[in-house]
Structure 1
Amino acid sequence: MINDAGVRVFISSLNTDINWATISTWLVIAVILSMVGGALGGMMIAGKDLGFKFAAIIGSLFAPAGVIPTLILGLLLLNFLGNY
């Protein structure tokens, strides 16, 4: 599967091109990683006070709020700088 020509082109376009497919892929990757990081951070910060499950849920819900706009602005900046 990894040796398929379409998969190879898509993987190489993830770090060279900015199009709708790469934007959505990076957005999904960033949201998943931020949710995991937010859950771990919530458990470490407020796990004993709120309970570990509830702190993980709240942390995973609030973490993408900062990541999504940052990712979109970063991709727009890369697209702008790539034109010059």
Structure 2
Amino acid sequence: MRDILDNPIVSDFLTSLAAGELNIETELVWVAIATALSMVGGAIGGMLLAGKDIGYQFSAMLGALFGPAGAIPAIVLGLVLLNFLTNY
């Protein structure tokens, strides 16, 4: 583990991620994190809304599939706007 963290490429990436710099690598990481969180939120929302009607597992699966449908475009648009505002 120490060898991975001492690698200059990984160290530079983690530094730019922690500093809040917006480049293509950090944007892809933030999109992946936000997608995973929206899938969890969609699964919880699906279970709360339709758990008793169609079953908790099926509603969680549908919620996890449909959760990122609205979140991913908003995340990408937000990152594009932040990148635009920091550059100009």
Q: 2:67 aligns to what? A: 63
**Residue identity (%):** 55
Q: 1:33 aligns to what? A: 37
Residues of 2 paired with 1:37 and 1:16: CA distance? Answer: 24
Residues of 1 paired with 2:61 and 2:37: CA distance? Answer: 14
Which structure features the higher share of helix residues?
A: 2
- Whether 1:7 and 2:29 are equivalent positions in the alignment is no
Q: 1:22 aligns to what? A: 26
Equivalent AA in structure 2 for residue 11 of structure 1: L
Structure 1: unaligned runs, 5 residues or longer: none
Q: How big is the alpha-carbon RMSD for the aligned residues of Structure 1 and Structure 2? A: 1.6
Q: Deviations over 1:7-61 (max 9, x none)?
A: 3422231243222211111111011111011101100111000100110010000
Residues of 1 paired with 2:54 and 2:44: CA distance? Answer: 14
- Which contiguous aligned blocks of 4+ residues in structure 1 show a shift greater than 4 angstroms? none
Shift of 1:80: 0.9
- With normalisation by structure 1, the TM-score equals 0.87
With 29-38 and 2-11 compared, the bigger mean Cα shift is at: 2-11
